[in-house]
Each structure stands twice: as structure tokens, then as C-alpha cells.
Amino acid sequence: MPPISLSVPLAGWLCPLHEVPDPVFASGMLGQGVAIDPLGDVLHAPAAGEVIGFHEAGHAVTLRLHEGVELLLHFGLDTVGLGGVGFTPLVRIGDKVSAGQPLLRVVLDEVVDGARSLVTPVLVTEPSGHAIEWVAAFGPVEVGQPMALLVPDGLAAPANGDAAAFEERLSRDVRVPLAHGLHARPCARLAETLKGFDAQVRVAAAGREASLASPTAMLRLAVRHGDTITLLASGPDADAALAELARTIEGGMGEGAPFPVGSATTAEAHVADADAAVVQVTAPLAGDVLRGVTASPGIAVGPVWRPVQPEPPIDAIGAGAEVEAARLHDALAAVRAKLGSANGGQAEEDAILGAHLALLDDPELSGGALALIAEGMSAGLAWRRILHAEAAALRATGDARFAERAADFLDLDLRVQWQLVGTEPPIVVAPAGSILVADDLLPSQVAALPPGGVAGLATARGGPTSHVAIIAASRGLPALVALGNAVLGIADGTTVVLDAAGGALEVDPGADRVNAARAEAALREARRAAALAASSRPGATADGHRVKVFANFGKLDDVAPALAQGAEGCGLLRTEFLFLDRADAPDEDEQAACYGAIAKALEGRPLIVRLLDIGGDKPAPYLPIAVEENPALGLRGIRVGLARPEVLSTQIRAILRATSSGDIRIMAPMIARVEELRDVREVLLAEAAALGVAAPELGVMVETPAAAVMADRLAAECDFLSIGTNDLTQYTLAMDRGNAAVAGGIDGLDPAVLRLIAQTCAGADRFGKWVGVCGGLASDPLAVGLLVGLGVAELSAAPGQVAEVKATLAALTREHCEIVASEALEASSAAQVRALAANLLRKAGL
């Protein structure tokens, strides 16, 4: 049998398979092969054969050659998610093709935005008794040039073998105690430490190696807390370098005391990744209705808008290695100068700028780009290739904390690309009245949306009690989450009705429905305006039963809009939001100033400061918590403060110092046991005595079923209770509030949750203590009457909902609320409770 020759199927840059930023391909799990970073837009047959597979998304072709050999040509990574956009198949399953025949045409501009990478693996998935000799050199390749020879077994030449030359190296195993593993900062510090030695040191972890001199390469290893790494050193002072590096790492590098190691493995995460890669997106049709979960109530009608980051033009062809290297050098210097002199104004922004500066100085990034430039690439393409590969490699680790850093590389790529073209990036403005559709959103992205632009949010993933949902509700922006991938298939500009309260996204539903929805939205707007006009009166039912209506804050800027809505105080200051993206812990002075400023802005109205609620879905870089198998049940809320007494007492001292600025009270999150309350009280009394000030009231957040059933015992020792219905719901129903797979069942109006609220109110009442609600239920018009009927005395809503909550209260009587609440306690489902509550509102004319 003669050998089968394979020719290059796509013009571009040929690279080894292990460089593909996706472990499923890079590991060779699907077969041996190579990859091509494409410059061409037509994929050709590498040899004659038959098309035996053509994915319906158009991105992957399988060919069967002579003697049963099979090839997979997979255009880009995660391109299946594009649902066919940008791909035009030129052949069909069953077609016989000749060598070099065009198989697939790709509109690169369309694919590049939605794909994780354009890198195209070319794999021999079934060698059928052939050995493979790869003959093309890595680097630029043209269609049709020889790529590989498939030689029947027995005829193959001995493999070249690309193992690195053996070198005498000293090695030492080190277990990493750093709570966040080897993330960017420790990687940079280790590289710095190494500069004091002449030795070359590499790090091996989970079968991969990286130079310790390159923080970026180290980061790619995704070494976590508890992992054992091997340090490999060669050179004159290898011994001393190993000893010093091992001592530094084992000493924890100031990253907190180690915690027990979680057992989720990278391998498992990779399997999940591979599964996710085969998710299909079918474009919804006109008239389709997608079901999601209400994150913020309301209705909005508008065109779909999927924001696209503006891209500068990138030169496809370089003007010569020297010119391009100089261009990159100048651009990096200019960006470094800009970042160095920039002042984000906010501490978090400054921290991000600092992180970008550190990456700019990483020799692996600039060195990698310069190597590509030397091969003939333009500065822009080379920089992009290196930075996108880094981002993709971090995402492919399967570890959320490392994956989040991918955005920094993409940001930095864009900064340099805009510098290369010499212009500032245009500002992305949402079309007025549009519905923002996204896979998922970051809280910061929602917070950055300017008022008056987007009319509603619809995401494929996310949970109803996520912090994105909280911010959307605080802005009165209707939002649906957990709509599934189908939402991403809706074409830009398609008119949709976002019925957030009803949990439905209606795709191009026809003129009648659009008009009716617009009328409903207008009616809701009129109601909101009327509620706003009446918002200055104290919160009370129609028959005069007083219920205070407060607002939840996450920053100083929340105060003014909340007061404009008639907030009578702050029932929950989420202090962890104030310093969430900080690399260093805020000190006592900084905290005291921040709490004092918010208390002052409230002009004497009560301010309930919640002690830091970090952990679970709210990580804070400055307070590292080890990877936990089950973070919601792990070290979070008050447990963190009690485990780190200095963090708790610093915050308490700061709050005590701020008490001179207003009416401040304190509350503790995630209390599950009376002893925890006692421990916090002890710290509070000790710090108050040391500062010579009176201890303010101390409340307990009821967020665990344990706290609800023990409410009487807690009430005996605290000053008030405030129910966090977001967490209470997740713990009662055992449904993760951030997990879209169970988000459909998370409903705070579930009778199980209502029974715990009733139990809390009864327990508190025994000791004459008041109960508030500061979770999402306090903002839900359907819940307001029920909560009042169950005995809740204070509702702390999202700032944008305060006026409506007051208006709802004002339309109800206490007696009606109590009757419906007792019926709801007898209900057997959340749907039944919702029907009862809707009936109560209807009867009240709402």
C-alpha cells in the first residue's frame, strides 16, 4: 500500500497541536494532528476521500480517506456556538471529494467575534493502521503544500521525536499552600526572586512545564492551593535557587493561612468544558417564546442588542520585521506610559491598571510577539496571537478564578491594538430602548450601563439572586436570566417583548402583541411615576399600619437615588461591595471614612451596616479563601470574620468610629448558631469599650434555615432580625442561587420559605424584637402584602423599587395581608402562593 499524502487544507500559520488552547484537542484526546491559525477563508480537502460528517453548525468536517483513515477538520474553537453564522458548506455528507477541493467557506469577520479562537485543529481521528509523519515546518503555510504522510505500519520511518535535549537538572517537589494558588501576583514575585540567581528554573505541574521566569507561562499552569509542583533547576547556583524558591512558596507568600484542599479537579472541569463545546444553538423563530427566570420584574419592548467590542483594523501583512518590531516597541511604551499616568479615580480601577502594567512587562508576551514578527507577521497580528492564546489557555484551565483573568489579556490586546492604529476606541452606546442580550454579564458591566440606554436585560445564564440581578433591580431594569443558549441565536435588531415578571422572552411576536406590551410598559411607567410622586409619605398600609421602607446599598452613589425614591433608611449596606475588586484589604481609616460618608448622606436616617459577607459567590481578592468543593456551605459570611479576627475587629472599629456621623447599626450575615452571635457581640463590646463609645444595636441576618428555626433564641440576644431571602431560599430549597440549572425552581415565595419567615417573626415577637426583610422578596410587589401579613415590620428594597413598594403597601390593608398570608402558609407550591398574591393585588386595584 502506498503512503497517503495530506496537503495543507487552509492558508495560515501551522502550529503544533499542543499549542491549541483547548485541552480536548491539545491533549491529543481526539487524535494526532496539527493546527492552523487561519489567514485564508476556504478550507480544502487535504486528500481525496468521502465526506462522512458535516456538523450542522458548519464548522467541522469529517473525511474518510482510502483504507479507512479518517480526518477531522475543526474550524476554530467553540465555533459550534455560532449556530452556522459565518460558515458556508461547499460539500455535503456523502460527497466524494478530490484532494484540494474546497469544503467550506468562512466569513472570518463574522466568526472572529463569536469564537473563542480561530485556531483550526486538523486531526487524524482514525489512523487505521498508519503511522503519521508530519512533514510541513511550523510557520506560514499555503493551501496544497505537503503536510503529512500516512505510512502503513511497518513502512514508517522511525519517529523524529521532539523531546527536549536531556539536561542535568536538580528537582524539588513543593506543595503550594497559597490560598489562591499560583495566580498572577505570586508568579510575578517568584520571577523576581529568580532574578537574584543565575540558575534556570522551570516548574512542572500536572504533566506540563513552564519557565519560572515567565509569570504568564506560570499562570497558564493554573496551579491551585494544595497542588504539588516540581521545581527543576539547572545552572551554577541551581541548588541555592531551589532552596530559596521552595522556602518562598512554602512560606505562603503572605497569602493567608492554608485551608483544607477542595477536591474539584481540573480534569473534571475540562470534561465539563468539552461537554459545553457541543451545545447547539438553534435560532429562535418569530413567535417563539423563551422561558427564563425573573431577575428584576417589569416589561420592556425593543430590538435585541448584542454589544460588540469595537475592533481597530489590524494589518494583515507586516511591513518588515524591523519596522514592525519598532511599531510594537513604541506602542508598548506608549501604553505603559498611559497606564502609568492613568488614575482610575476608584481604587478598583487603579488595581486593574496596575495588573495590566505588570502584564505589559512580562517578557514572555513581548518576546513571543517579537518572535512572530521576526517570522514576518505584522505587530498587530503578532500581539493579538500571543494575547489571545494566553486568554484562551487561561479559560481552558476550567478554573473560574484563572478564567476571569482572561479578560485582562483581551483588554490589554485591545489597548495595544488601538495604540498601533493611533486612535482612541469609539465608545459603545446602546441603542435607546434596546434589550441587551448576552451569555452572562458581570456586575460591573451592568453597573456601567448609562441610564436611558438599555431597556432590559436577557441572559442565557445567571441566577435570579445573582449580583447582576441585584444591580438590575436597583436600577428598575427588567431582567430575565437563565434563558438558555437559544437566546443567543436571536438576530440583532429583532423585536422582542421582555416580560420579566412573567418569565418570558417573546421573539418577534407580531404587531398586536408588541402594541399590547408597549401599552403595558407605559401603564407600568405611569404607575411608577405616580408611586414616585407619592414616595415622600412614610411607608404604611392603607389602614395606617406602619411598615418602614428602606433601601439596600452597595456604594455611596446608591444613597441619592434611594432617597429620591423615598427610602426611609438603609436596611442593608453590603460592605463587601465597597471593596470587592481590591487587591489589598481596606484599612480601618478607609472603611471608617466610607461608612461615615454614607451615614452622613442619609442625613440622620438609620443605616444598617452588614459585616463583610465574603465567600461563596462573593470572592474578594484581598481575602483569599481556598477552593472549596461546596462554597455556599463553606467559609462565608460571618464565618470568615470569626476565622480572621483581625478582619472582623478592624471592620467593627471602623463602624464604631463612623457612628458619630449618623444612626448606625450593625448586622451579621450568615448566622447559623447562637454562639456566632455571642462571638460577634463580644468583639463589638470589647472594641466599643476600647474606643470609649457606646455599642450600637446588633442585628442578625436570617439567611439559614437554622437561624429561622432558632429565631427566638437569637432574638433573646440580638436587637433585631433581618431576613436575607436570597440565601434563605437557596438554603431552604437546596438550590444554588447562581446555578442556572436550578434557577427555575428558586422562588422566595415557595411556601417552605414563607413558613420559615413566619417562624422567624413569631420567634422574634416572643422577645419583642422587630423583623425586616432585606433580600430580593422585599422588592417584589407580589411579596409585599404577604410579608406584612406574616409580621415583617421593615422592607429594605433595591433603591429603584422603593417608591413602588410604598405604593403597593399603601393600596393594601393589614387585615387583607394577614388573611392571604395565612392562606399562603397552607399552599403547597410557589405557583399557588403567586396566584394568591396576584389576587390580593388585583383586588386592591393594582
Measured from the CB atom, is 181 or 464 closer to ligand PEP?
464
CA distance 613 to 279: 35
Residue 297 binds which of ligand PEP, Mg ion, none (CB < 5-8 A, kind-dependent): none
8 A C-beta contact, residue 784 and residue 516: no
The phi and psi torsions of 658 (rounded to 5 degrees) equal -80, -10
Query: How does strand 698-702 pair with strand 663-668?
Result: parallel
Indicate whether 736 belongs to the interface with Mg ion (CB under 5 A). no
Q: Which amino acid is at 638?
A: I
Indicate whether 613 belongs to the interface with ligand PEP (CB under 6 A). yes
Q: How far is the CB of 574 from ligand PEP (least distance, A)?
A: 5
Q: How far is the CB of 722 from ligand PEP (least distance, A)?
A: 8
Measured from the CB atom, is 193 or 725 closer to ligand PEP?
725
CA distance 562 to 555: 11
Stretch that binds Mg ion, among 267-275, 360-368, 433-441, 702-710 (CB under 5 A): 702-710
Length of the chain: 846
> Among 820, 639, 621, which Cα is nearest to 727's?
639
Indicate whether 364 belongs to the interface with ligand PEP (CB under 6 A). no
CA distance 91 to 13: 25
Exposure pattern of 712-743 as b/e (b: 16+ CB <10 Å)? Answer: bbbbeebbbbbbbbbbbbbbbbebbbbbbebb
Distances in Å between the Cα of 167 and the Cα atoms of 171, 233, 235, 802 are 12, 10, 10, 69
Measured from the CB atom, is 657 or 665 closer to ligand PEP?
665
- For residue 725, give the C-alpha cell: 431571602
CA distance 105 to 373: 28
Indicate whether 725 belongs to the interface with ligand PEP (CB under 6 A). yes
Residue of 76, 89, 775, 799 that binds ligand PEP (CB under 6 A): 775
Residue of 298, 724, 776, 785 that binds Mg ion (CB under 5 A): 724
- For residue 658, give the C-alpha cell: 463612623
Residues that bind Mg ion (rule: CB under 5 A) add up to a total of 3
> Among 176, 161, 360, 148, which Cα is nearest to 251's?
176
Residue 296 binds which of ligand PEP, Mg ion, none (CB < 5-8 A, kind-dependent): none
Measured from the CB atom, is 499 or 703 closer to Mg ion?
703
User: Starting at the edge strand that comes first in sequence, how are the strands of the sheet with 32-38 ordered?
Assistant: 96-97, 49-54, 60-64, 70-74, 120-126, 32-38, 12-16, 139-141
- Answer positive or negative: Cα dihedral of 711, 716, 717, 718: positive
Residue 12 binds which of Mg ion, ligand PEP, none (CB < 5-8 A, kind-dependent): none
Measured from the CB atom, is 119 or 711 closer to ligand PEP?
711
Measured from the CB atom, is 82 or 572 closer to ligand PEP?
572
Stretch that binds Mg ion, among 189-197, 675-683, 708-716, 727-735 (CB under 5 A): 727-735
Indicate whether 757 belongs to the interface with ligand PEP (CB under 6 A). no
CA distance 114 to 85: 9
> Among 391, 355, 356, 492, which Cα is nearest to 437's?
492
Residue 292 binds which of ligand PEP, Mg ion, none (CB < 5-8 A, kind-dependent): none
Q: How far is the CB of 666 from ligand PEP (least distance, A)?
A: 15
One DSSP character per residue, 334-382 reads HHHHHHHH---SSHHHHHHHHHHHHHHT-HHHHHHHHHHHHTT--HHHH
Query: Among all chains, which residue has been given the C-alpha cell 455560532?
Result: 82
> Among 700, 731, 746, 729, which Cα is nearest to 633's?
731
Residue 725 binds which of Mg ion, ligand PEP, none (CB < 5-8 A, kind-dependent): ligand PEP
Residue 572 binds which of Mg ion, ligand PEP, none (CB < 5-8 A, kind-dependent): ligand PEP
Stretch that binds ligand PEP, among 120-128, 164-172, 417-425, 721-729 (CB under 6 A): 721-729
8 A C-beta contact, residue 262 and residue 458: no
Indicate whether 748 belongs to the interface with Mg ion (CB under 5 A). no
Indicate whether 747 belongs to the interface with ligand PEP (CB under 6 A). no
CA distance 460 to 292: 8
Residue of 227, 273, 617, 727 that binds Mg ion (CB under 5 A): 727
Residue of 390, 399, 558, 727 that binds ligand PEP (CB under 6 A): 727
| Cα R_g (the chain), whole angstroms | 30
User: Starting at the edge strand that comes first in sequence, how are the strands of the sheet with 495-499 ordered?
Assistant: 289-291, 504-507, 495-499, 299-305, 435-438, 456-459, 479-481, 293-296
Indicate whether 671 belongs to the interface with ligand PEP (CB under 6 A). no
Q: How far is the CB of 609 from ligand PEP (least distance, A)?
A: 13
Q: Tell me which of 59, 774, 816, 817 is the catalytic residue.
A: 774
Stretch that binds ligand PEP, among 267-275, 309-317, 719-727, 823-831 (CB under 6 A): 719-727
Measured from the CB atom, is 378 or 474 closer to ligand PEP?
474
Q: How far is the CB of 532 from ligand PEP (least distance, A)?
A: 24
DSSP 8-class letter at 615: B
Measured from the CB atom, is 676 or 727 closer to ligand PEP?
727
Indicate whether 574 belongs to the interface with ligand PEP (CB under 6 A). yes
CA 660-663-668 angle, 5° bins: 105
Measured from the CB atom, is 391 or 611 closer to Mg ion?
611
DSSP 8-class letter at 585: -
Residues that bind ligand PEP (rule: CB under 6 A) add up to a total of 10
**3-state secondary structure labels for all residues of 99-112:** CCCEEEEECHHHHH
Stretch that binds ligand PEP, among 218-226, 228-236, 622-630, 723-731 (CB under 6 A): 723-731
Measured from the CB atom, is 151 or 572 closer to Mg ion?
572
Stretch that binds Mg ion, among 546-554, 643-651, 717-725, 828-836 (CB under 5 A): 717-725
Q: Tell me which of 55, 388, 467, 816 is the catalytic residue.
A: 467
8 A C-beta contact, residue 743 and residue 764: no
Residue of 214, 296, 565, 726 that binds ligand PEP (CB under 6 A): 726
Measured from the CB atom, is 738 or 791 closer to Mg ion?
738
Measured from the CB atom, is 72 or 728 closer to Mg ion?
728
467 catalytically annotated? yes
- Strand, coil or helix: what is 326? helix
44 catalytically annotated? no
Residue 774 binds which of ligand PEP, Mg ion, none (CB < 5-8 A, kind-dependent): ligand PEP
Stretch that binds Mg ion, among 580-588, 599-607, 645-653, 696-704 (CB under 5 A): 696-704
Q: How far is the CB of 669 from Mg ion (least distance, A)?
A: 6
Residue of 26, 57, 572, 786 that binds ligand PEP (CB under 6 A): 572
List the interface residues with ligand PEP, window 212-271 (CB under 6 A).
none
Indicate whether 774 belongs to the interface with ligand PEP (CB under 6 A). yes
- For residue 837, give the C-alpha cell: 398574591
8 A C-beta contact, residue 228 and residue 177: no
Residue of 38, 724, 738, 772 that binds ligand PEP (CB under 6 A): 724
Residue of 273, 568, 703, 804 that binds ligand PEP (CB under 6 A): 703
Which helix (H) or strand (E) segment holds residue 12: the answer is strand 12-16
Q: How far is the CB of 777 from Mg ion (least distance, A)?
A: 12
Q: How far is the CB of 555 from ligand PEP (least distance, A)?
A: 14
> Among 623, 617, 642, 841, which Cα is nearest to 740's?
617
Stretch that binds Mg ion, among 75-83, 433-441, 580-588, 725-733 (CB under 5 A): 725-733
Kindly list the residues in this chain that would bind ligand PEP in the complex (CB under 6 A): 572, 574, 613, 703, 724-727, 774-775
Kindly list the residues in this chain that would bind Mg ion in the complex (CB under 5 A): 703, 724, 727
Tell me the catalytic residues.
467, 774
